[in-house]
Amino acid sequence: MREAAAALAAPRQKAVLNAAAAHMPEDAQERLQTNLQSQLRKLICKGLAYLDLSDAGTASQLEPALSFMKLLIERFKVRGQLEEARAAKQWLRLQGLLTTEATTQAEANLEILLTEGNHRRGGGLKTTKGGVYTPNPKNQDNPLIRNTGNDVILNCNKCGIELRSSWIFDYLGKVHILVPKHGHSACGGRYVPTDAKLSVRQDNPTHLDICPHGSQSRHCVKCGGSGICVHKKRFSRCPPCFAERREERSDAKREQ
Q: Do 78 and 100 share a domain, yes or no?
A: yes
**Average pLDDT, stretch 199-207?**
89
Q: What is the count of structural domains for the chain?
A: 3
Q: Do 13 and 115 share a domain, yes or no?
A: yes
Inside any domain, residue 212: no
Q: Do 64 and 150 share a domain, yes or no?
A: no
| Rounded alpha-carbon distances, angstroms, from residue 119 to 25, 57, 113, 122, 124 | 53, 18, 10, 5, 6
**End residue of a domain, out of 102, 120, 138:** 120
| Rounded alpha-carbon distances, angstroms, from residue 36 to 29, 55, 64 | 11, 30, 22
Q: What is the pLDDT of residues 26-65, one digit of tens each?
A: 666 665 655 788 888 888 888 888 877 666 667 667 777 8
Q: Do 84 and 6 share a domain, yes or no?
A: yes
Give SS3 for 171.
Answer: strand
Domain of residue 249 covers 217-255
Average pLDDT, the chain: 78
The single-letter code of the amino acid at 31 is R
Inside any domain, residue 105: yes
Q: Do 110 and 9 share a domain, yes or no?
A: yes
Q: Do 135 and 79 share a domain, yes or no?
A: no
Give SS3 for 239.
Answer: helix
Inside any domain, residue 155: yes
- How high is the pLDDT of residue 118? 44
Q: Do 173 and 154 share a domain, yes or no?
A: yes
What's the pTM value of the predicted model, to 2 decimals? 0.51
Q: Do 159 and 113 share a domain, yes or no?
A: no
- How high is the pLDDT of residue 74? 85
Q: Do 224 and 196 share a domain, yes or no?
A: no
The pairing of strands 191-193 and 174-179 is unpaired
Q: Do 87 and 13 share a domain, yes or no?
A: yes
Task: Classify the phi-psi angles of 67: left when phi > 0, otherwise alpha if psi is within -120 to 50, otherwise beta.
Answer: alpha
Is 60 exceeded by the pLDDT of residue 187?
A: yes
Q: What is the pLDDT of residues 106-129, one digit of tens each?
A: 555 555 544 444 444 444 456 787
Inside any domain, residue 177: yes
**Average pLDDT, stretch 61-85?**
82
